Protein backbone atom coordinates (compact mmCIF):
# COMPACT_ATOMS: atom_id res chain seq x y z
CA UNK A 1 0.00 0.00 0.00
CA UNK A 2 1.12 3.51 -0.65
CA UNK A 3 -0.67 6.81 -0.53
CA UNK A 4 -0.95 9.43 -3.21
CA UNK A 5 0.72 12.75 -2.71
CA UNK A 6 -1.49 15.78 -3.13
CA UNK A 7 -0.82 17.05 -6.65
CA UNK A 8 -0.80 20.60 -5.39
CA UNK A 9 2.08 19.89 -3.02
CA UNK A 10 4.65 19.42 -5.77
CA UNK A 11 3.66 21.05 -9.01
CA UNK A 12 5.81 19.59 -11.77
CA UNK A 13 3.47 20.47 -14.65
CA UNK A 14 2.72 23.72 -16.49
CA UNK A 15 0.29 25.07 -19.05
CA UNK A 16 2.42 23.33 -21.67
CA UNK A 17 1.65 19.91 -20.17
CA UNK A 18 -0.83 18.31 -22.57
CA UNK A 19 -3.51 15.82 -21.49
CA UNK A 20 -6.07 13.92 -23.58
CA UNK A 21 -9.19 12.47 -21.93
CA UNK A 22 -11.57 10.15 -23.81
CA UNK A 23 -15.32 9.91 -23.29
CA UNK A 24 -15.27 13.25 -21.52
CA UNK A 25 -18.59 14.88 -22.38
CA UNK A 26 -20.04 13.66 -19.07
CA UNK A 27 -19.43 11.57 -15.97
CA UNK A 28 -15.96 10.84 -14.61
CA UNK A 29 -14.20 11.84 -17.86
CA UNK A 30 -15.76 15.30 -17.82
CA UNK A 31 -14.85 15.71 -14.14
CA UNK A 32 -11.23 14.67 -14.85
CA UNK A 33 -11.01 17.30 -17.61
CA UNK A 34 -12.39 19.90 -15.22
CA UNK A 35 -9.89 18.99 -12.48
CA UNK A 36 -6.86 18.97 -14.79
CA UNK A 37 -7.92 22.26 -16.40
CA UNK A 38 -8.41 23.84 -12.96
CA UNK A 39 -4.87 22.76 -12.10
CA UNK A 40 -3.55 24.60 -15.16
CA UNK A 41 -2.77 21.86 -17.69
CA UNK A 42 -3.69 22.06 -21.37
CA UNK A 43 -6.55 19.58 -21.65
CA UNK A 44 -8.16 18.08 -24.75
CA UNK A 45 -11.72 16.96 -24.07
CA UNK A 46 -12.80 14.30 -26.54
CA UNK A 47 -16.26 12.84 -27.13
CA UNK A 48 -17.83 10.59 -29.74
CA UNK A 49 -20.69 13.01 -30.34
CA UNK A 50 -19.71 16.51 -31.49
CA UNK A 51 -22.77 18.24 -30.10
CA UNK A 52 -22.47 16.63 -26.67
CA UNK A 53 -18.72 17.31 -26.62
CA UNK A 54 -19.09 20.96 -27.59
CA UNK A 55 -21.78 21.49 -24.95
CA UNK A 56 -19.42 20.07 -22.31
CA UNK A 57 -16.60 22.32 -23.50
CA UNK A 58 -18.95 25.31 -23.43
CA UNK A 59 -19.81 24.59 -19.76
CA UNK A 60 -16.13 24.45 -18.83
CA UNK A 61 -15.33 27.63 -20.78
CA UNK A 62 -18.22 29.38 -19.01
CA UNK A 63 -16.44 28.54 -15.74
CA UNK A 64 -13.34 30.27 -17.07
CA UNK A 65 -11.45 27.08 -17.99
CA UNK A 66 -9.51 26.72 -21.23
CA UNK A 67 -10.03 23.35 -22.89
CA UNK A 68 -9.65 22.08 -26.45
CA UNK A 69 -12.14 19.81 -28.16
CA UNK A 70 -11.91 17.11 -30.78
CA UNK A 71 -14.41 14.43 -31.72
CA UNK A 72 -13.21 10.90 -30.99
CA UNK A 73 -15.19 7.69 -31.15
CA UNK A 74 -12.83 5.11 -29.72
CA UNK A 75 -14.81 2.24 -31.24
CA UNK A 76 -13.97 3.53 -34.74
CA UNK A 77 -10.43 3.06 -36.16
CA UNK A 78 -11.18 5.89 -38.66
CA UNK A 79 -12.12 8.26 -35.88
CA UNK A 80 -8.94 7.33 -33.96
CA UNK A 81 -6.89 7.94 -37.12
CA UNK A 82 -8.51 11.37 -37.66
CA UNK A 83 -8.00 12.32 -34.03
CA UNK A 84 -4.32 11.37 -34.04
CA UNK A 85 -3.77 13.42 -37.26
CA UNK A 86 -5.52 16.39 -35.68
CA UNK A 87 -3.45 16.02 -32.52
CA UNK A 88 -0.20 15.80 -34.46
CA UNK A 89 -1.01 19.00 -36.39
CA UNK A 90 -1.91 21.00 -33.29
CA UNK A 91 0.42 19.80 -30.54
CA UNK A 92 4.13 19.11 -30.21
CA UNK A 93 3.82 16.22 -27.80
CA UNK A 94 1.54 14.38 -25.40
CA UNK A 95 2.16 14.12 -21.66
CA UNK A 96 -0.97 12.40 -20.33
CA UNK A 97 -3.55 10.05 -21.83
CA UNK A 98 -6.63 9.08 -19.82
CA UNK A 99 -8.47 6.17 -21.44
CA UNK A 100 -11.81 6.79 -19.77
CA UNK A 101 -14.41 6.14 -22.51
CA UNK A 102 -16.38 2.97 -21.91
CA UNK A 103 -19.80 1.51 -22.31
CA UNK A 104 -22.05 -1.02 -20.62
CA UNK A 105 -25.51 -1.88 -21.86
CA UNK A 106 -26.59 -3.43 -18.55
CA UNK A 107 -28.47 -1.81 -15.70
CA UNK A 108 -27.42 -2.78 -12.20
CA UNK A 109 -28.46 -6.39 -11.52
CA UNK A 110 -28.67 -7.28 -15.24
CA UNK A 111 -26.17 -9.43 -17.12
CA UNK A 112 -26.95 -9.51 -20.82
CA UNK A 113 -24.13 -10.15 -23.30
CA UNK A 114 -26.16 -9.21 -26.38
CA UNK A 115 -23.88 -6.20 -27.01
CA UNK A 116 -20.63 -7.93 -26.04
CA UNK A 117 -18.87 -7.14 -29.33
CA UNK A 118 -19.56 -3.41 -29.01
CA UNK A 119 -18.50 -3.48 -25.37
CA UNK A 120 -15.19 -5.23 -26.11
CA UNK A 121 -14.56 -3.10 -29.21
CA UNK A 122 -15.08 0.13 -27.25
CA UNK A 123 -13.64 -0.64 -23.84
CA UNK A 124 -10.68 -2.78 -24.86
CA UNK A 125 -9.83 -2.56 -28.58
CA UNK A 126 -10.65 1.18 -28.68
CA UNK A 127 -8.46 2.09 -25.72
CA UNK A 128 -5.67 -0.15 -27.04
CA UNK A 129 -5.73 1.18 -30.61
CA UNK A 130 -5.81 4.80 -29.43
CA UNK A 131 -2.90 4.16 -27.07
CA UNK A 132 -0.85 2.35 -29.71
CA UNK A 133 -1.54 5.17 -32.20
CA UNK A 134 -0.49 7.86 -29.72
CA UNK A 135 2.65 6.10 -28.46
CA UNK A 136 4.99 7.95 -30.87
CA UNK A 137 3.76 11.31 -29.58
CA UNK A 138 4.49 10.94 -25.86
CA UNK A 139 7.03 13.54 -24.72
CA UNK A 140 8.92 11.07 -22.47
CA UNK A 141 10.72 13.91 -20.69
CA UNK A 142 12.19 13.75 -17.21
CA UNK A 143 8.69 14.52 -15.91
CA UNK A 144 7.59 11.09 -17.21
CA UNK A 145 4.64 10.74 -19.57
CA UNK A 146 1.59 9.00 -18.12
CA UNK A 147 -1.25 6.75 -19.25
CA UNK A 148 -4.12 6.14 -16.84
CA UNK A 149 -6.60 3.48 -17.93
CA UNK A 150 -9.91 3.79 -16.12
CA UNK A 151 -10.79 0.17 -15.52
CA UNK A 152 -12.78 -1.67 -12.89
CA UNK A 153 -12.40 -4.18 -10.10
CA UNK A 154 -15.07 -6.16 -11.94
CA UNK A 155 -12.28 -6.99 -14.38
CA UNK A 156 -9.67 -8.08 -11.84
CA UNK A 157 -8.14 -11.55 -12.22
CA UNK A 158 -9.70 -12.83 -9.02
CA UNK A 159 -13.15 -12.53 -10.64
CA UNK A 160 -12.16 -15.20 -13.19
CA UNK A 161 -13.03 -18.67 -11.84
CA UNK A 162 -11.91 -20.71 -14.86
CA UNK A 163 -8.36 -21.92 -14.01
CA UNK A 164 -7.31 -22.26 -17.66
CA UNK A 165 -8.30 -18.68 -18.49
CA UNK A 166 -6.70 -17.43 -15.28
CA UNK A 167 -3.50 -19.28 -16.09
CA UNK A 168 -3.32 -17.51 -19.45
CA UNK A 169 -3.26 -14.11 -17.76
CA UNK A 170 -1.61 -14.50 -14.37
CA UNK A 171 1.98 -15.16 -15.33
CA UNK A 172 3.34 -11.63 -15.69
CA UNK A 173 6.53 -12.85 -17.35
CA UNK A 174 4.69 -14.69 -20.11
CA UNK A 175 1.76 -12.31 -20.56
CA UNK A 176 1.51 -10.98 -24.13
CA UNK A 177 -0.92 -9.09 -26.35
CA UNK A 178 -1.52 -12.34 -28.21
CA UNK A 179 -2.58 -14.11 -25.01
CA UNK A 180 -4.95 -11.27 -24.11
CA UNK A 181 -6.43 -11.41 -27.58
CA UNK A 182 -6.86 -15.21 -27.21
CA UNK A 183 -8.74 -14.73 -23.94
CA UNK A 184 -11.04 -12.13 -25.51
CA UNK A 185 -11.66 -14.47 -28.47
CA UNK A 186 -12.41 -17.36 -26.08
CA UNK A 187 -15.03 -15.20 -24.41
CA UNK A 188 -16.66 -14.15 -27.69
CA UNK A 189 -16.67 -17.79 -28.81
CA UNK A 190 -18.32 -18.88 -25.56
CA UNK A 191 -20.99 -16.22 -26.13
CA UNK A 192 -21.41 -17.44 -29.72
CA UNK A 193 -21.91 -21.07 -28.70
CA UNK A 194 -24.05 -20.20 -25.68
CA UNK A 195 -21.67 -21.60 -23.02
CA UNK A 196 -20.42 -18.34 -21.47
CA UNK A 197 -22.48 -18.69 -18.29
CA UNK A 198 -20.81 -21.99 -17.32
CA UNK A 199 -17.22 -21.16 -18.30
CA UNK A 200 -16.12 -19.33 -15.13
CA UNK A 201 -16.07 -15.81 -16.56
CA UNK A 202 -16.68 -12.91 -14.13
CA UNK A 203 -20.27 -13.06 -12.92
CA UNK A 204 -21.18 -9.38 -12.77
CA UNK A 205 -21.58 -7.43 -16.04
CA UNK A 206 -19.62 -10.23 -17.73
CA UNK A 207 -18.91 -8.62 -21.12
CA UNK A 208 -17.87 -5.33 -19.48
CA UNK A 209 -15.76 -7.22 -16.90
CA UNK A 210 -13.95 -9.15 -19.66
CA UNK A 211 -13.27 -5.87 -21.51
CA UNK A 212 -11.73 -4.41 -18.33
CA UNK A 213 -9.84 -7.64 -17.60
CA UNK A 214 -8.28 -7.31 -21.06
CA UNK A 215 -7.47 -3.61 -20.53
CA UNK A 216 -5.91 -4.34 -17.12
CA UNK A 217 -3.79 -7.09 -18.70
CA UNK A 218 -2.77 -4.92 -21.67
CA UNK A 219 -1.74 -2.18 -19.20
CA UNK A 220 0.66 -4.63 -17.55
CA UNK A 221 2.19 -5.59 -20.91
CA UNK A 222 2.54 -1.96 -21.98
CA UNK A 223 4.01 -0.94 -18.61
CA UNK A 224 6.64 -3.65 -18.94
CA UNK A 225 7.46 -2.71 -22.55
CA UNK A 226 7.99 0.91 -21.49
CA UNK A 227 9.83 0.38 -18.21
CA UNK A 228 12.75 2.79 -18.07
CA UNK A 229 11.45 4.60 -21.17
CA UNK A 230 9.82 7.53 -19.39
CA UNK A 231 6.24 6.35 -19.85
CA UNK A 232 4.18 5.07 -16.93
CA UNK A 233 1.02 3.01 -17.39
CA UNK A 234 -1.41 2.49 -14.52
CA UNK A 235 -5.04 1.51 -14.01
CA UNK A 236 -7.63 3.10 -11.77
CA UNK A 237 -10.99 1.80 -10.58
CA UNK A 238 -13.08 4.75 -9.44
CA UNK A 239 -15.43 2.47 -7.46
CA UNK A 240 -19.21 2.67 -7.50
CA UNK A 241 -19.78 6.21 -8.77
CA UNK A 242 -22.93 8.22 -9.51
CA UNK A 243 -22.90 8.48 -13.31
CA UNK A 244 -25.07 7.52 -16.28
CA UNK A 245 -23.35 4.12 -16.30
CA UNK A 246 -24.85 3.26 -12.90
CA UNK A 247 -28.18 5.00 -13.50
CA UNK A 248 -27.03 7.81 -11.21
CA UNK A 249 -26.48 5.67 -8.11
CA UNK A 250 -23.19 5.06 -6.37
CA UNK A 251 -21.15 5.80 -3.29
CA UNK A 252 -19.36 8.87 -4.59
CA UNK A 253 -19.69 11.67 -7.09
CA UNK A 254 -17.91 11.81 -10.43
CA UNK A 255 -15.91 14.77 -9.08
CA UNK A 256 -14.69 12.71 -6.06
CA UNK A 257 -13.59 9.95 -8.45
CA UNK A 258 -11.94 12.50 -10.74
CA UNK A 259 -10.02 14.10 -7.89
CA UNK A 260 -8.55 10.70 -7.02
CA UNK A 261 -7.74 10.01 -10.68
CA UNK A 262 -6.04 13.42 -10.99
CA UNK A 263 -3.97 12.74 -7.86
CA UNK A 264 -2.62 9.55 -9.47
CA UNK A 265 -2.11 11.18 -12.88
CA UNK A 266 -0.16 14.03 -11.32
CA UNK A 267 2.05 12.06 -8.93
CA UNK A 268 5.48 13.69 -8.81
CA UNK A 269 7.97 12.18 -11.28
CA UNK A 270 9.98 10.71 -8.39
CA UNK A 271 6.99 8.76 -7.07
CA UNK A 272 5.10 7.85 -10.24
CA UNK A 273 4.54 4.09 -10.48
CA UNK A 274 3.98 1.84 -13.46
CA UNK A 275 1.97 -1.35 -13.99
CA UNK A 276 -0.16 -0.70 -10.90
CA UNK A 277 -3.86 -0.92 -10.17
CA UNK A 278 -5.28 1.86 -8.02
CA UNK A 279 -8.68 1.65 -6.38
CA UNK A 280 -10.66 4.61 -5.06
CA UNK A 281 -12.57 2.60 -2.46
CA UNK A 282 -9.71 2.68 -0.02
CA UNK A 283 -8.53 5.60 2.04
CA UNK A 284 -5.06 4.99 0.70
CA UNK A 285 -4.12 3.82 -2.74
CA UNK A 286 -3.94 0.08 -3.25
CA UNK A 287 -1.37 -1.46 -5.51
CA UNK A 288 -2.71 -4.91 -6.14
CA UNK A 289 -2.61 -7.45 -8.92
CA UNK A 290 -4.17 -6.03 -12.04
N1 LIG B 1 -19.51 4.76 -12.58
C2 LIG B 1 -18.93 3.72 -11.98
O3 LIG B 1 -19.42 3.24 -10.94
C4 LIG B 1 -17.68 3.12 -12.52
C5 LIG B 1 -17.06 2.09 -11.79
C6 LIG B 1 -15.88 1.54 -12.27
C7 LIG B 1 -15.34 2.00 -13.46
N8 LIG B 1 -15.98 3.00 -14.17
C9 LIG B 1 -15.34 3.45 -15.40
O10 LIG B 1 -15.24 4.86 -15.38
C11 LIG B 1 -15.18 5.35 -16.72
C12 LIG B 1 -16.15 6.50 -16.90
O13 LIG B 1 -17.48 5.98 -16.77
P14 LIG B 1 -18.66 6.83 -16.15
O15 LIG B 1 -19.08 6.14 -14.93
O16 LIG B 1 -18.30 8.27 -16.11
O17 LIG B 1 -19.80 6.54 -17.23
P18 LIG B 1 -20.63 7.51 -18.21
O19 LIG B 1 -21.15 8.69 -17.46
O20 LIG B 1 -21.58 6.60 -18.89
O21 LIG B 1 -19.54 8.05 -19.23
C22 LIG B 1 -19.00 7.24 -20.22
C23 LIG B 1 -18.41 8.13 -21.28
O24 LIG B 1 -17.84 7.30 -22.29
C25 LIG B 1 -18.34 7.78 -23.54
N26 LIG B 1 -18.30 6.77 -24.58
C27 LIG B 1 -19.02 5.63 -24.70
N28 LIG B 1 -18.70 5.01 -25.86
C29 LIG B 1 -17.75 5.77 -26.46
C30 LIG B 1 -17.04 5.68 -27.67
N31 LIG B 1 -17.25 4.66 -28.53
N32 LIG B 1 -16.13 6.63 -27.98
C33 LIG B 1 -15.92 7.67 -27.14
N34 LIG B 1 -16.60 7.84 -25.99
C35 LIG B 1 -17.49 6.89 -25.67
C36 LIG B 1 -19.73 8.26 -23.24
O37 LIG B 1 -20.20 9.09 -24.31
P38 LIG B 1 -21.78 9.29 -24.64
O39 LIG B 1 -22.28 10.34 -23.69
O40 LIG B 1 -21.77 9.71 -26.05
O41 LIG B 1 -22.45 7.97 -24.39
C42 LIG B 1 -19.46 9.01 -21.96
O43 LIG B 1 -18.90 10.27 -22.23
C44 LIG B 1 -15.45 4.15 -17.61
O45 LIG B 1 -14.24 3.63 -18.08
C46 LIG B 1 -16.10 3.17 -16.66
O47 LIG B 1 -15.94 1.83 -17.10
C48 LIG B 1 -17.12 3.56 -13.72
* Residue 208: active-site member: yes
Q: What is the pLDDT of residues 27-49, one digit of tens each?
A: 999 999 999 999 999 999 999 99
Q: What is the pLDDT of residue 10?
A: 83
Cα of 82 to ligand 1 centre, how many Å?
21
Q: What pLDDT band is residue 4 in, cutting at 50, 70 and 90?
A: low
Mean pLDDT of 86-111: 98
Q: Which of 124, 208, 218, 278 is catalytic?
A: 208
Ligand 1 and 52: CB distance under 6 A: yes
Mean pLDDT of 77-103: 98
Q: By the 8 A CB rule, do 180 and 143 touch?
A: no
> Strand runs (DSSP E) across the chain, as ranges?
18-21, 42-47, 67-71, 96-99, 145-150, 231-237, 277-279
Q: What is the pLDDT of residue 144?
A: 98
- Coil vs helix vs strand at 239: coil
Given a cut of 60, whether residue 196 has pLDDT beyond it is yes
**What is the model's pTM?**
0.96
- C-alpha count within 13 angstroms, C-beta hemisphere, residue 70: 21
- Kindly state the DSSP code that residue 40 receives in the 8-state scheme: T
* CATH architecture label of 18-108+120-156+214-279: 3-Layer(aba) Sandwich (3.40)
Q: Beta partners for 94?
A: 138
Q: What is the pLDDT of residue 84?
A: 98
Among 124-133, 167-176, 281-290, the least confident range: 281-290
Mean pLDDT in the chain? 94
Nearest CA to ligand 1 atom 47: 102
Q: What is the pLDDT of residue 2?
A: 42
Q: What is the pLDDT of residues 138-152, one digit of tens each?
A: 999 999 999 999 999
235 phi and psi angles, rounded to 5 deg: -120, 155
Ligand 1 and 215: CB distance under 6 A: no
Q: What is the pLDDT of residues 7-18, one digit of tens each?
A: 566 899 999 999
Amino acid sequence: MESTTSPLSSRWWSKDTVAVVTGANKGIGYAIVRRLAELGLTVILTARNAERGEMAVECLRNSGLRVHFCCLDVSSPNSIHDFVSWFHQKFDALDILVNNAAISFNNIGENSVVHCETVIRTNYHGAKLLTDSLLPYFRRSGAISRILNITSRLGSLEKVRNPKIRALLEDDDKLSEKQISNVVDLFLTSVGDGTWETQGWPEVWTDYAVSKLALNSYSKVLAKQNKGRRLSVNCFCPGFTQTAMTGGVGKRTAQDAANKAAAIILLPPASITTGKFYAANDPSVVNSRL
